[in-house]
A and B are shown apart, each in its own frame.
Chain A
Amino acid sequence: MNKVLLGVLLGAILGAIDGTTAWFTPEARAEIAGIVIGSTIKGIIAGILIGVFARKVHSLALGIVFGLGVGLLLAFIVAQMQHGYYFQIMLPGGMVGLIVGYATQRYGRGPKLQQT
């Protein structure tokens, strides 16, 4: 599968799972829909960035580091907006970025070379 598309799909799925687990936090349950949508969008953005990076840079190690970095950064922004829950938001966010970074490098297919 295309690296960017794989990144978007994986980011969206893991982002949605990430958001859904907020249901287990009673004080966040009222806003679950917004959290799931926001988390999914965050996952998609991370997926696009990591997928584009994977297209440009063919390195598993760099892909993982970049994925982790993007995941942590986006999660940090969300945590800043929430004024708290840094650990609960940033750890899964970083983990999602790491998984997407690994998957795009390992399983994503690069663009076809054009014959000249």
Chain B
Amino acid sequence: MKSLSDRVLARLQADMQMPDLSGTRYNLLRYVACGGMGSVWLAEDTVLKRRVALKVLDFAGPADDLGVRLLREARILASLEHPGIVPVHDAGTLPDGRAFCCMKYVEGQTLTQHIATLNLPDRLRLLERIAEPLDFAHARGFIHRDLKPDNVMIGAFGEVLVMDWGLAKVGVTSLEAGETEIARAVQPTQNSLHVTGQGSVLGTRGYISPEQARGAIEVDHRTDIFSLGAILTFMLTGSAPGELPAASGTMPRPLRAISEKAMAADPNARYQSARGMTADITHYLNGEPVSAYLENLLERSGRVFARHRTAVVLVGVYLIMRVLFILFVRR
């Protein structure tokens, strides 16, 4: 008997995963990517004539926990209306019984792909923009819990979107009663520990906070602050914390201090909000002292000089000119 090649098998698998969109307003265009819960497809909304991303579960099941989970993610996204959070258009069940969620199709790159082209100030400004939707979500009682460079998309026009809120924790006041957190394991993706529930672990290695890694149930928004600090480390060194310890030596000291404060083991020692962390980043960009780092006199002088370089040079030239004039007159 002849065996099937990997390519044929992959094709068959893709065909099997292909969602049945018959009778819906969507036309399937192409496969985009797969995730822990299902696959993402590019489709056309035939009513509004626009391209959308369809997140479809791999398996059907009306009472399936993953279906509830996808619906929950859709509800979270629907309640978080922010330019930095990918908007959801629709959610429901396809004719083949699989749950789906229709979202804005974002054309662009993930942070991992995008970062190499940026200089340091641009990277830091990007981090500030990642923190904005996060701060917005925290203010409304949501915690992302899986913040990592692959979950940040940079659009073709520079828009920054925080994606994949599938593991988000919902504040009890944010959804109606009965929408309690789902406690079940989901398919793990590569390098991921995607599991939720009591005493279990979720998140991604390198970006997950210690309390989240321990499986603590009472994690709060500061777990995202830890992940934001890990993203800062990634943006500055090109690798996740713990992957390449030697690379941290190349980070400017104030930025390293910001990253370390955000990634403190004790949540109380971290920044208490994403805004607090970005305030320090903004101070660094403006040549001002950051709260996380106590600089010495030499560093302070260097920073002040760097910040007011032109003014210092102009006044210096003026004073030198004055001294030269005095010397000239005396001769």
Contact = CB atoms under 8 A, between A and B. Distances in A.
A14 B15 CA distance: 79
A24 B324 CA distance: 12
B329 interface: yes
Interface in A79-116: 88, 91-92, 95-96, 98-99, 102-103, 106-107
A40 B310 CA distance: 24
Interface in B284-331: 310-311, 314-315, 317-318, 321-322, 325-326, 329-330
Contact of B326 (A21, A91, A99, A107): A21
A95 B320 CA distance: 12
Nearest to A99: B314
B311 A103 contact: yes
Nearest to B314: A99
Given A21-B322, A92-B321, A106-B310, A99 B315 contact: yes
A32 to B, nearest CB: 14
Contact of A95 (B321, B326, B330): B321
Contact of B325 (A21, A102, A103): A21
A33 interface: no
A64 to B, nearest CB: 9
Contacts of B322: 17, 21, 92
Nearest to A23: B326
Contacts of B315: 99
Interface of B is mostly: helix
Nearest to A88: B325
Interface residue range, chain A: 10 to 19
Nearest to A106: B311
Contacts of A25: 329
A95 B318 contact: yes
Contacts of B318: 14, 92, 95-96, 99
Which of B315, B325, B326 has the most A CB atoms < 10 Å from its CB?
B325
Given A91-B321, A92-B321, A95-B318, A102 B326 contact: no
Contacts of A106: 310-311
A90 to B, nearest CB: 12
Nearest to B330: A24
Contacts of A91: 321
Contacts of A24: 325-326, 329-330
Interface string A13-41: 01001000100110000000000000000
Given A21-B325, A92-B322, A102 B330 contact: no
Residue of A17, A88, A99, A106 ringed by the most chain B CB atoms within 10 A: A99
Contacts of A103: 311
A58 B329 CA distance: 39
Contacts of A92: 318, 321-322, 325
A17 B330 CA distance: 18
Most central of B314, B317, B321, B330 by chain A CB within 10 Å: B314
Nearest to A100: B314
Interface of B: 310-311, 314-315, 317-318, 321-322, 325-326, 329-330
Closest 8 CB pairs of A and B: A24-B326, A99-B314, A95-B318, A25-B329, A24-B329, A21-B322, A102-B314, A99-B318
12 contacts: A21-B322, A24-B325, A91-B321, A92-B318, A95-B314, A95-B321, A99-B311, A99-B314, A99-B318, A102-B310, A102-B311, A107-B311
Given A99-B314, A99-B318, 5 more contacts: A24-B330, A92-B321, A92-B322, A95-B317, A99-B311
